[in-house]
Chains A and B, each alone.
Chain A
């Protein structure tokens, strides 16, 4: 299947700092990228949907000023958690899909805010 690379796989940061997570589609053009958050033993919760060159569409309850999403090219999307706090600690996962294709997931990023 298609390859989606997510980086970093884990990060520890201090409270109040910002963290950027990258998601790259390595062998296809991702017209749409999705960002999810997953708490232990729970399913994936969609945070936002981004289409290349457009502003991201955020799900209800997700602060767009806190979770900045950029999808500047067909192969790269970034999620920046701004002014991170311990309650932002979670597993963040991106997925990417091409035009009318299935979605492939990155490896996930475990964020710990101390």
Chain B
């Protein structure tokens, strides 16, 4: 069993839809949770960074962490074609520690 599980997709949604991306994990030592967006042939871009259970909102993005269920989510509201990318969840046992990534979910937002 992988430490971090993420559905690779692809996920295709119409413009304006709410997108829900999810990861589950097995290592209860993970305390820091991140979501990255990666466009083709580019490095990952940090979208959200959280270290406590609950919700964190930033613009159209909301990150949700449920440590009791070992489950994290990223919601994208009013999705745009420019949101089409691969979204990677990542987690670590401490700030500055190495990250363990999910496989990434490929998202396509269509006009």
Contact = CB atoms under 8 A, between A and B. Distances in A.
B is a partner of A:
yes
Interface of A: 1, 4, 6, 31-32, 34, 42-44, 46, 49, 91, 93, 95, 97-108, 110
Contacts, number: 57
A46 B99 contact: yes
B44 A100 contact: no
Contacts of A6: 43
A42 B2 CA distance: 14
Nearest to A99: B96
In terms of DSSP, what is the predominant structure of the interface of chain B?
Answer: loop
A43 B104 contact: yes
Given A105-B43, A107-B43, 17 more contacts: A4-B43, A6-B43, A43-B102, A43-B103, A43-B104, A46-B98, A49-B98, A93-B43, A100-B94, A100-B96, A102-B34, A102-B95, A105-B44, A105-B45, A106-B43, A108-B41, A108-B43
30 contacts: A1-B46, A6-B43, A31-B96, A32-B96, A34-B98, A42-B103, A43-B101, A44-B44, A44-B101, A46-B99, A95-B99, A97-B95, A98-B96, A99-B95, A99-B96, A100-B95, A100-B96, A101-B95, A101-B96, A102-B32, A102-B34, A102-B49, A103-B34, A103-B46, A103-B96, A104-B46, A105-B36, A105-B43, A108-B42, A110-B41
Nearest to B8: A41
A102 B41 CA distance: 22
Interface of B: 32, 34, 36, 41-46, 49, 88, 90, 94-96, 98-99, 101-104
Contacts of A104: 46
Contacts of B43: 4, 6, 93, 105-108
A83 B76 CA distance: 44
A30 B12 CA distance: 37
Nearest to A46: B98
